[in-house]
């Protein structure tokens, strides 16, 4: 029988064609006897295959030579790498180490081999190294740690260790370790920590504090001197958002605007609010913040500063560039390798140098010597020495130079190299590595600049600084820019060498200095120490703060601190007492009901505003406890009484409770009651005082819950700061800060400010000769402080500022310009001139957001618009009248009736806040959407009702909402298109798998065909060994075909769509057992199948799972007697169902459990138990697609148990079911 082998046309391949040609040339002998035509062809095929193997062997030999050459080259790179490499045995012995690592350890490489690494680690780091070594040998992941190395010469080296375990063929472990020199980085970090500590010292002495928030806007850190005033408690703030704090004077719309700004991750400045602190007083604060992002752009939270502005004084704490405050320095490098020929010209350059567009251009370097490059920073003598070293063919290290790269910037590099010699000793060139040290140099320069800027701003923030020695004698007194020392002996010349109590302070209480000396001797810090001096005939007040200084052994070596002249602050406090009374009236007008309670008699006293809050007249509610109990909701009464008495008895934290009170109209109103026990200053009588705030709307609306308690509070108009810099010609080079506030730098475009002198800016009302005197002061390079200026804005209003500045000198003492700060004091100036009505108007304007303000007579309906309202819609001042008809002409006709209805309803019943949205015609003809908000205010004296409010242009917001809807529709379309693309990709993948499967089978069929042909046609010419070989070939090709089929089915199964539904695994198992018994009726196997809970999944795929698991159990119990198989289910501690299948077969070693589910990986020989090695892989993939996991437990010779779960998360099942249904809908 003569069969033709089935296969591909092998002659089509290049290697086959070459072998055919060589075979034809070498065929000089003919067979000894005629052979059948098929045998002759088979002999020819074998000869061709032999020649193919010889050609492949030659190719492999050439590849081996190339690899050996590459190995030699990279051994050089290994030895001269910029980091140390070493390999440690599991006993800690050094098995391998490169030259760089040996240099780090300070010993010759040969002496280090087979010696322990641990003696090179300092004693204090031995425990850390041991834990790192043990952990790295135990885990299969990279570990790192920092240690200090002690070299034989006594020097120390800070290094970072990166270690990874390697497992050898004999199962022993080795440790690969990379040593990176981090000495310079540690030094920079220590310097940075010292700089930050100085910053925190001055922060604690100032009136400012710093805070940080996480990505959910909850406070994680607060620090600064403000906590020493009024008993402000940090613990009450940490873990809370700002709107969860007991903040006053912030309305709903301002909270909404502030939270929207935070949601956009924008910088904010001068957010103003008040807090009632522990002593019952109200303090005002101003905060600014900036978002913080990770290097990958992820939002991390906010950090910022706050300022206590209760006494209207400018910030006195040191302000520095916020970008540099918390920046971490890290040493970053970019390394590459280079080679030079015998003429020292570059012949090869590889690595990070050419990985970026701004990097070094390789084409500009190849073919040149190093001294032919445009190198900077190397003088002639250095070149001479370097070239002489190269001529001597010596190794060189750390040759430093600068080079301008593609983007024009100057980068600094450190180069090391080693000569290369040919086998005959002839010099062949150099090869080595280059280290980019630019970032390290820049970090050092940035650190020096940051410290200089910190010192400059620090000197501008406080009036003077002082230091004392261990005996509390002044050693230094220095004054901030432009600060005039007070009369002697307070000047630095009279203070040095004296104690504080030796200076001429007046009105000091008896025993005060003794107490102060005891505090100093105990090494305690002190803050806000207030003393009084005489400056001629004027009494001046000063405030001092100090921090103790300790040496490295913890011994007190002195104090350092700051001083401020607070005379104007004290005077301002007296002037503001009347304002405080006005604020009390404002609180009453804000809709907050105040009450007090006599603790002895437990009787109430309600203010009239409390009665009005619930609709009652002054004579309708008496002050008895029974009257109050009658108004409280019965369900809340017992809780209120218990909470009040518990607070009085415990004197704990501030009293706060929520309950319901009956309004006069019969409705129940939710109120927030807050209070605390205080003592009358004169009589000492203890009373319980507090307020009731209507929070009904907040209880109905979660978002309003956090903002409503601020609804009737006042805003404070506070100052803002900015910074400026000038060059040596006194021209402005930078002006920044004060976002959201006016500053000279924001009057015009930057081109109108930068490059100009101060006297060229539009300041007004400067007295005659003012600028001449100021220019003389600048020419003398003197500091100045609190220089007042006024300037007129484009709308004609005036702004007033105070400016301070200090000269800047470089390291050589040369004058390089000025830097300074500006402080807006407009509100302080204007507030003295405002009438009470103007103050209410300004307060409401700030509360409404300073956007489109209007005023309306509730009774007469006459309108009044501010200029900014008219300009908001493009109208001039005289283009809009004050009549209602003028306003109606501007409102969109479709909105007019609704606007009137809402306005009339609010005017008739002016409770809460008026709010409406409608369209107004702009002067250019377009319609603008506005948000109108307002309140009705009643003059306590005249009874006149005035309706004040604002119009906010929300056109962009409305357009954005429309845009979001359009984008959502577009996204849905794209999702559908992407789904179609994935379906097409899956179809193409199926076709590819089928093609690969078919192509793999083709050569197998050829091998099988040729082998079978030899067995059938040449049986007589083959001996027994040859026939056995051919049978093995046929058997192996058949097994290979089975493996290909298994892989193809595994691939199809992994991508088959899921059809979820209830599945009875027990019933499926019963069917499969019947099939198994039918296939092998001779076996007696005890099979126990318990009733298991219904599973949710694809019945077809889960049947495959049980087929493989039961098939394995049946197979691996074949040599066990009697055999037993159990299928069941159990629940874990969380109630999840765990299915299991247990047998008493041969089992397996648990140390190989991690390899069970690898494709083609088998734990038993083919001769013992046949199989393809894909069954458990298939099980794992199906279980994973059902949201579960599978694992096995066994003992060799004692059987095995396989566990699996399905849909461990109910939400995961629901999500999968929804996705499948959506996919089926789209496919249909």
Tens of pLDDT, residue by residue over 974-1013, are 777 776 666 666 665 565 555 555 556 667 666 777 777 7
Predicted local distance difference test score (pLDDT) of residue 332: 34
Whether 745 shows a pLDDT value over 60: the answer reads no
Residue 36 confidence (pLDDT) above 60: no
Lowest-confidence pick of 421-430, 697-706, 758-767, 820-829: 697-706
Looking at residue 742, its pLDDT comes to 47
Cα distance between the two ends of the chain: 55
pLDDT of residue 330: 28
What CATH code is assigned to 848-953?
3.30.450.20
Domain 201-321 adopts which CATH fold?
Beta-Lactamase (3.30.450)
pLDDT of amino acid 224: 59
Residue 129 reports pLDDT greater than 80: yes
Identify the residue whose tokens are 């459990």. Answer: 1153
Q: At 1166, is the pLDDT very low, low, confident or very high (cuts 50, 70, 90)?
A: low
The CA dihedral of 586, 591, 592, 598, to the nearest 10 degrees, is 100
Task: Give the per-residue pLDDT at 1002.
Answer: 64
Q: For residue 1147, what pLDDT is reported? A: 83
Where are the chain's structural domains? 10-76, 82-181, 201-321, 335-436, 462-575, 591-710, 721-824, 848-953, 960-1031, 1058-1227
Angle in degrees, CA 563, 278, 230, rounded to 5? 5
pLDDT digits (tens, 9 = 90+) for 884-935: 777 888 889 998 888 888 888 887 777 777 888 889 899 898 998 888 888 8
pLDDT digits (tens, 9 = 90+) for 1090-1115: 989 998 888 888 888 888 888 888 88
- pLDDT single digits (tens) 149-177: 999 998 999 999 999 988 877 778 889 89
pLDDT confidence of residue 198: 64
Give the pLDDT mean for 954-961.
82
User: Mean pLDDT over residues 1155-1162, rounded?
Assistant: 70
Q: Crossing angle for the helix pair 836-847 and 577-589, nearest 10 degrees?
A: 60
When mean pLDDT is compared across 469-483, 953-967, 1056-1070, 1085-1099, the lowest value belongs to 469-483
pLDDT at residue 419, rounded to an integer: 95
CATH number, span 82-181: 3.30.450.20
Instruction: Tally Cβ neighbours within 10 Å of residue 777.
Output: 14
In whole angstroms, what is the distance from residue 212 CA to residue 208 CA?
Answer: 14
Q: Is 187 helix (H, G, I), strand (E, B) or coil?
A: helix
How would DSSP label each residue in 193-215?
HHHHHHHHHHHHHSSEEEEEE-T
Which of 254-268, 367-381, 739-753 has the lowest average pLDDT?
739-753
List pLDDT tens digits, range 1019-1046: 777 788 887 777 778 766 766 666 666 5
Which tops the pLDDT comparison, 236 or 264? Answer: 264
Q: Can 462-575 and 1058-1227 be said to share one CATH topology?
A: no
In tens, the pLDDT along 54-104 reads: 777 777 777 677 677 766 666 776 777 788 888 999 888 998 898 888 888
Q: Cα angle at 251 between 248 and 257, to 5 degrees?
A: 120
C-alpha closest to that of 430 among 363, 344, 336, 367: 344
459 preceded by cis ω (within 30°)?
no
Least confident piece of the model among 359-363, 619-623, 859-863, 1071-1075: 859-863
Angstrom CA distances, 176 to 84, 137, 143, 150, stand at: 11, 10, 11, 21
Q: Options 1.20.58.220, 3.30.450.20, 3.90.1150.10, 3.40.630.10; which CATH number does 591-710 get?
A: 3.30.450.20
Torsion angle of the four alpha carbons 96, 99, 104, 107, in this order, in degrees rounded to the nearest 10? 80
Between helix 955-1017 and helix 1210-1227 the angle, nearest 10°, is 80
The CATH number for 335-436, chosen from 3.40.50.620, 3.40.50.300, 2.60.40.420, 3.30.450.20, is 3.30.450.20
Q: Quick one: pLDDT at residue 465?
A: 79
Give 953-1008 as a DSSP string: E-HHHHHHHHHHHHHHHHHHHHHHHHHHHHHHHHHHHHHHHHHHHHHHHHHHHHHH
What pLDDT score does 669 carry?
Answer: 85
Of 346 and 67, which is predicted with more confidence?
346
Q: Token pair of 238, please? A: 């940490």
Mean pLDDT of 1178-1191: 86
Which homologous superfamily is 721-824 in? Answer: PAS domain (3.30.450.20)
| Architecture of the domain spanning 462-575 | 2-Layer Sandwich (3.30)
**Closest residue by Cα to residue 287 from 228, 346, 247:** 247
* The CATH fold of domain 1058-1227: Heat Shock Protein 90 (3.30.565)
Task: For residue range 510-548, list pLDDT tens digits in order.
Answer: 999 999 999 999 999 998 888 888 777 777 888 888 999
Q: What is the pLDDT of residue 266?
A: 93
Q: Above 90 in pLDDT, residue 1159?
A: no
Give 215-239 pLDDT, tens digit per residue.
Answer: 999 999 887 555 545 456 677 788 9
Say which range, 109-113, 289-293, 385-389, 578-582, has the weakest mean pLDDT. 578-582
Instruction: Note the pLDDT of residue 1128.
Output: 93
Evaluate if residue 702 carries a pLDDT over 50.
no
What is the per-residue pLDDT for 186? 83
Q: What is the pLDDT of residue 718?
A: 32
> Is it the case that residue 421 has pLDDT exceeding 90?
yes
Higher pLDDT pick, 743 / 1056:
1056
pLDDT surpasses 60 at 191: yes
What is the rounded CA–CA span in Å between residue 604 and residue 691? Answer: 12
Q: Could you tell me how many residues make up the chain?
A: 1228
pLDDT of residue 493: 56
Mean pLDDT for 562-569 is 83
Q: How much is the average pLDDT of 315-331? A: 35
CA distance 440 to 453: 20
1041 burial (CB, 10 Å; 0-12 / 13-18 / 19+) is middle
Q: Would you state the pLDDT for residue 634?
A: 92
| Strand (E) or helix (H) holding 17 | helix 14-26
Paired sense of beta strands 686-694 and 592-598, if any: antiparallel
Task: Say how far apart CA 202 and CA 317 lie, in whole Å.
Answer: 7
Full-model pTM: 0.27
628 Cβ contact partners less than 8 Å away, ≥ 6 residues apart? 604
């Amino acid at each position: 029988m003569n069969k033709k082998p089935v296969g591909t046309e092998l002659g089509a391949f290049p290697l086959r064609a070459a072998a055919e040609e060589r075979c034809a040339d070498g065929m000089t002998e003919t067979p000894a006897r005629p052979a059948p035509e098929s045998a002759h062809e088979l002999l020819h095929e074998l000869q061709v295959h032999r020649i193919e193997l010889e050609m492949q062997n030659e190719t492999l030999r050439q590849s081996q030579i190339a690899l050996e050459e590459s190995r030699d080259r990279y051994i050089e790179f290994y030895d001269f790498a910029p980091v140390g490499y070493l390999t440690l045995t599991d006993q800690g012995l050094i098995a391998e180490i490169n030259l760089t690592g040996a240099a780090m350890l300070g010993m010759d490489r040969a002496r280090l081999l087979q010696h322990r690494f641990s003696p090179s680690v300092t004693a204090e780091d031995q425990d850390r190294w041991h834990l790192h070594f043990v952990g790295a040998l135990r885990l299969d992941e990279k570990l790192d740690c920092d240690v200090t190395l002690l070299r034989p010469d006594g020097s120390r080296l800070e290094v970072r260790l990166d270690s990874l375990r390697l497992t050898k063929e004999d199962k022993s472990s080795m440790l690969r370790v990379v040593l990176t020199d981090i000495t310079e980085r540690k030094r920079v970090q220590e310097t940075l920590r010292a700089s930050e500590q100085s910053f925190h010292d001055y922060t604690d002495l100032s009136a400012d504090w710093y805070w940080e928030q996480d990505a959910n806007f909850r406070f994680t850190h607060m620090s600064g001197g403000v906590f020493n005033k009024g008993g402000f408690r940090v613990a009450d703030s940490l873990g809370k958002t700002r709107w969860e704090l007991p903040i006053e004077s912030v309305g709903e719309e301002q909270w909404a605007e502030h939270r929207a700004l935070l949601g956009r991750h924008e910088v904010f400045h001068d957010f103003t609010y008040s807090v009632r602190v522990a002593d019952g007083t109200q303090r005002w604060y101003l905060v600014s913040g900036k978002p913080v992002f990770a290097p990958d752009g992820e939002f991390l939270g906010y950090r910022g500063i706050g300022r206590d502005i209760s006494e209207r004084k400018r910030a006195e704490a040191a302000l520095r560039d916020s970008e540099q405050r918390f920046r971490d320095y890290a040493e970053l490098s970019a390394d590459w390798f280079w080679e030079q020929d015998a003429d020292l010209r570059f012949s090869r350059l590889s690595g990070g140098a050419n990985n970026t567009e701004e990097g070094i251009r390789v084409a500009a370097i190849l073919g040149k010597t190093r001294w032919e490059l445009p190198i900077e920073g190397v003088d002639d003598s250095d070149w001479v020495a370097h070239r002489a070293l190269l001529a001597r063919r010596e190794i060189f290290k750390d040759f430093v130079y600068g080079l301008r790269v593609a983007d024009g910037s100057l980068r600094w590099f450190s180069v090391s190299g080693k000569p290369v010699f040919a086998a005959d000793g002839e010099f062949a060139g150099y090869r080595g590595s280059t280290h980019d040290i630019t970032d390290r140099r820049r970090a050092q320069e940035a650190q020096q600049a940051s410290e200089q800027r910190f010192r400059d701003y620090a000197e501008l923030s406080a009036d003077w600084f002082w230091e004392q020695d261990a005996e509390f004698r002044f050693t230094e007194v220095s004054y901030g820019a432009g600060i005039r020392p007070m009369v002697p002996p307070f000047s630095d010349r009279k203070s040095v060498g004296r104690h504080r109590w030796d200076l001429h302070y007046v009105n000091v209480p008896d025993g005060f200095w003794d107490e102060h000396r005891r505090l100093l001797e105990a090494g305690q810090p002190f803050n806000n120490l207030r003393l009084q001096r005489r400056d001629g005939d004027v009494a001046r007040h000063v405030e001092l703060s100090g921090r103790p200084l300790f040496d490295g052994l913890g011994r007190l070596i002195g104090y350092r601190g700051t001083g401020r002249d607070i005379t104007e602050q004290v005077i301002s406090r007296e002037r503001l007492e009347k304002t405080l009374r006005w604020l009390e009236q404002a609180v009453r007008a804000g809709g907050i009901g105040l009450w007090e309670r006599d603790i002895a008699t437990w009787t109430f006293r309600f203010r009239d505003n409390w009665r009005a809050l619930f609709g009652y007249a002054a004579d309708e509610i008496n002050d008895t406890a029974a009257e109050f109990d009658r108004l409280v909701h019965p369900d809340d009464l017992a809780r209120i009484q218990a909470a009040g008495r518990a607070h009085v008895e415990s004197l704990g934290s501030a009293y706060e409770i929520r309950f319901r009170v009956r309004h006069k109209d019969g409705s129940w109103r939710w109120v927030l009651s807050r209070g605390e026990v205080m003592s009358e200053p004169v009589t000492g009588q203890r009373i319980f005082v507090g307020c009731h705030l209507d929070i009904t709307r907040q209880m109905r609306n979660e978002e309003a819950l956090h903002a409503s308690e601020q609804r009737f509070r006042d805003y404070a108009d506070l100052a803002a700061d900015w910074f400026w810099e000038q060059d040596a010609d006194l021209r402005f080079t930078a002006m920044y800060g004060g976002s959201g506030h006016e500053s000279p730098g924001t009057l015009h475009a930057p081109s109108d400010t930068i490059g100009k002198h101060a006297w060229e800016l539009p300041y007004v009302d400067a007295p005659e000769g003012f600028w001449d005197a100021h220019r003389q002061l600048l020419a003398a390079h003197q500091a100045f402080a609190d220089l007042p200026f006024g300037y007129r804005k484009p709308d004609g209003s005036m702004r007033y500022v105070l400016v301070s500045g200090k000269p800047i000198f470089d390291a050589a003492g040369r004058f390089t310009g000025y830097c300074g700060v500006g402080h807006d004091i407009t509100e302080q100036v204007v507030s003295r001139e405002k009438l009470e009505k103007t103050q209410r108007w300004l307060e409401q304007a700030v509360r409404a957001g300073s956007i489109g303000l209007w005023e309306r007579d509730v009774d007469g309906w006459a309108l009044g618009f501010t200029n900014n309202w008219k300009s908001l819609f493009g109208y001039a001042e005289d283009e809009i009248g004050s009549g209602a008809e003028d306003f109606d002409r501007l409102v969109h006709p479709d909105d007019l009736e609704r606007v009137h209805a809402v306005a009339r309803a609010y005017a008739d019943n002016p409770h809460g806040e008026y709010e409406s949205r409608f369209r107004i015609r702009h002067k250019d003809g377009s319609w603008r959407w506005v948000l109108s908000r307002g309140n009705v205010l009643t003059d306590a004296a005249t009874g006149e009702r005035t309706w004040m409010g604002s119009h906010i242009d929300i056109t962009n917001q409305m357009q954005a909402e429309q845009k979001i809807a359009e984008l959502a529709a577009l996204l849905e379309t794209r999702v559908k298109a992407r789904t179609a693309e994935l379906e097409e990709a899956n179809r193409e993948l199926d076709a590819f798998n089928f093609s690969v499967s078919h192509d793999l089978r083709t050569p197998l069929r050829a091998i099988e065909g040729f082998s079978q042909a030899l067995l059938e046609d040449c049986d007589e010419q083959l001996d027994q060994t040859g026939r056995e070989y051919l049978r093995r070939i046929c058997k192996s090709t058949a097994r290979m075909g089975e493996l290909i089929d298994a892989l193809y089915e595994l691939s199809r199964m992994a991508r088959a769509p899921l059809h979820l539904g209830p599945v009875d695994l027990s019933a499926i198992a019963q069917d499969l057992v019947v099939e198994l018994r039918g296939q092998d009726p001779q076996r007696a196997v005890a099979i126990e199948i318990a009733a298991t809970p219904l599973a949710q999944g694809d019945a077809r795929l889960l049947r495959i799972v049980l087929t493989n698991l039961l098939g394995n159990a049946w197979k691996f119990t074949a040599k066990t007697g009697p055999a037993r198989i159990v299928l069941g289910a159990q629940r874990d501690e969380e109630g999840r169902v765990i299915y299991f299948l247990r047998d008493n077969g041969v089992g397996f070693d648990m140390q190989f459990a991690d390899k069970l589910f690898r494709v083609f990986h088998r734990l038993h020989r083919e001769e013992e138990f046949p199989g393809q090695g894909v069954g458990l892989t298939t099980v794992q993939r199906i279980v994973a697609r059902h949201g579960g996991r599978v694992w096995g437990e066994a003992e060799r010779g004692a059987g095995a148990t396989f566990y699996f779960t399905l849909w461990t998360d109910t939400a995961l099942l629901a999500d999968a079911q929804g996705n499948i249904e959506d996919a089926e809908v789209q496919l249909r």
